[in-house]
Amino acid sequence: MIEGLKITIEGTELKELCAKRAQHHLERSVAYAGQLASMEKAEIEGMQYSGGDPKRALRDKKEQHDAEASEMDFIAAHIVTSETYMLDKDALYKLGISKRGY
């Protein structure tokens, strides 16, 4: 008996989903890098009254997406395509299929 929500998926499909998610994170990283370059070119500084640093926030988001892309690439490279995998809600979230907190 399986307790909770579990999804079975073939290795080939899982590998494709991982690659797609890695590509998503790479695209987000490029977008954040572009925004950061634009701010640096315009010499925009952080707003002192808010205590925030928008350039640092963009760098952090870029680094986060770089790390996620690397992780998804690593996972995809280690999937046994001839196997069937059972995914829980955390795995579905990681793959971008479900959202947290609904």
SS3 call for 86: strand
Q: What distance in Å separates the CA atoms of residue 2 and residue 88, rounded to the nearest whole number?
A: 11
Q: What distance in Å separates the CA atoms of residue 9 and residue 91, rounded to the nearest whole number?
A: 11
Positive or negative: CA dihedral 11, 24, 93, 60: positive
Residue 66 near residue 30, CB atoms below 8 Å:
no
Q: Which residue's entry shows tokens 């926030």? A: 57
Q: What is the pLDDT of residues 37-91, one digit of tens each?
A: 998 888 776 655 556 788 888 999 999 999 999 999 999 999 999 999 999 999 9
pLDDT at 99: 86
Q: What distance in Å separates the CA atoms of residue 84 and residue 14, rounded to the nearest whole number?
A: 9
pLDDT at 23: 98
pTM above 0.95, yes or no: no
Listed by start position, the domains of the chain span 7-94
Q: What distance in Å separates the CA atoms of residue 39 and residue 54, rounded to the nearest whole number?
A: 9
